[in-house]
Amino acid sequence: MSQTLQVLQAFDRTVVSEIPMDDARTLEAKLASAARTMRDRRAWLKPHQRSGILWRTASLLEARQAHFAQLIAREGGKPLSDAAVEVIRAIDGLRNAAEELRVFAGREIPMGLTPASEGRWAFTTKEPIGVVAAISAFNHPLNLIVHQVAPAIAVGCPVIVKPAMATPLSCLDFVALLREAGLDEPWCQTFITDDNALAERLATDPRVAFLSFIGSARVGWYLRSKLAPGTRCALEHGGAAPVIVDRSAPLDRIIEPIVKGGYYHAGQVCVSTQRIFVHADVMDEFVERLAARVRSLRVGDPLLQETEVGPLITPHEANRVMSWTDEAVSAGAVIIGGGRQSETTLMPAILVEPAVDSKVSQLEIFGPVTCVYGFQELDKAIDIANSLPFAFQASVFSADIGPAMRAARRLDASTVLVNDHTAFRTDWMPFAGRRQSGYGVGGIPYSMEEMSQEKMLVLRYDG
């Protein structure tokens, strides 16, 4: 008898659903099916077929927005208003992948530049890289799946997707939409398991040509070290996103985006605003304004339309965030707000001047906590912002172009946002962690490039 997985509602830990899990035999069958599908080049889906499937899936998802928003809020704990935005992004992501196929092509390679290359015409074409293993995270249980699956379908790769065990239902229902849109099962299969050894077997099987991994750096870098020879990968981890607030920044206009960046989805976002460096001239007023807005955030059941901050994904995570906060306070940080509301929900907190060696200053919090530090010299604040072994997105708020551009040039980040929060992204822009924060480039068009390979064709002719 196969084992089952209980999927719990993030907010109150009640059972949402119970679903069957896959075992080693099922994994082998799915890998064999995907590899067989990839080998049969005559049966590869044509671009118009792939595009049509993506467009139809987008339409099906659009018709079921309310269902998916509720599902995201229940299993993942994201507030319903934000969950609705996630569904809209997923719809757009599918259309983005389909539209990208209109320009997804090789290029001509010039010949005749030397006598030896005369009489030849050369160009490249795009081919799918092979079987894709996609291992996903809980915090955007629909949109992250779309980020991994839609590019694979678009370029013609069979994909096996393993959702996070806390949030598998959005993935399962999404794959059901793909079936309804006409995609045969071997082109997109799910793999449901809580067995880490089986998940590792999926990622490291030699039949897998590309691993897409979204999750913890510890697991991602470990899996990369175990990949079969020739397997390529993209890793998306997290960071401790820094924000620079210059003395010229208009405080009445910057608090709202900073709060959104720091407390969206209870801080459970890989580019969530975490470390805020504020010029000493405006430090007191900034903290006062930030504290007033943070205290007003409505915490509670994500299914309620008015909720702004929902639960942490598990009680364990809530306990961890509380322990990190307590440690920082014990070492001298001043705390504003905070505290536990329930088993899974925490009141948003601000930590003022936590020690530089505390966990909240050194590691990704992944909870509803921001840290505020004062500075006198911009370059010193930038040096501290750049001092951690990971780097992803960063922000600078300034009304003066000089400090804004100085910070934009010197911050170690793959993206620097000027007068916007660190968690901003669109799904067609490049999205990549630096150093320990990731490997490869995300964003739907960029993932399509990563999941494809070029083939050269050289035609020799007379005359």
**Block mean pLDDT (10 aa), the chain, length 463:** 86 96 97 97 97 98 98 97 97 98 96 94 97 96 97 98 97 98 98 96 98 94 95 94 96 96 96 97 97 96 96 96 97 94 95 96 96 97 95 95 95 95 92 90 95 96 80
Q: Which residue has the tokens 């210059």?
A: 246
Kindly state the helix (H) or strand (E) to which residue 158 belongs, with its residue range.
none
For residue 139, how many C-alpha atoms fall within 13 Å in the half-sphere facing its CB?
19
Q: Strand, helix or coil at 366? A: coil
pTM listed for this prediction: 0.93
**Token pair in block for residue 297:** 């955030």
160 closest CA partner among 298, 26, 312: 26
Q: What is the pLDDT, as a whole number, of residue 2?
A: 62
249 closest CA partner among 424, 386, 385, 421: 421
Q: Residue 49 CA to chain centroid, in angstroms?
A: 27
Rounded Cα gap, residues 429 and 450, in angstroms: 14
Q: Which residues on neighbouring strands pair with residue 418, listed in sequence order?
A: 396
For residue 449, how many C-alpha atoms fall within 13 Å in the half-sphere facing its CB?
10
Which residue segments constitute the domains of the chain, with CATH numbers given? 4-237+437-460 (3.40.605.10), 241-418 (3.40.309.10)
Q: Residue 338 CA to chain centroid, in angstroms?
A: 26
Sign of CA dihedral 66, 67, 69, 70: positive
Distances (CA, A) of 48 to 59, 65, 259, 431: 16, 26, 43, 27
Q: What is the pLDDT, as a whole number, of residue 462?
A: 84
| DSSP string across 68-88 | HHHHHHHHH---HHHHHHHHH
Active site residues: 236, 270
Rounded Cα gap, residues 463 and 459, in angstroms: 13
Burial of 237 (0-12, 13-18, 19+ CB in 10 A): buried
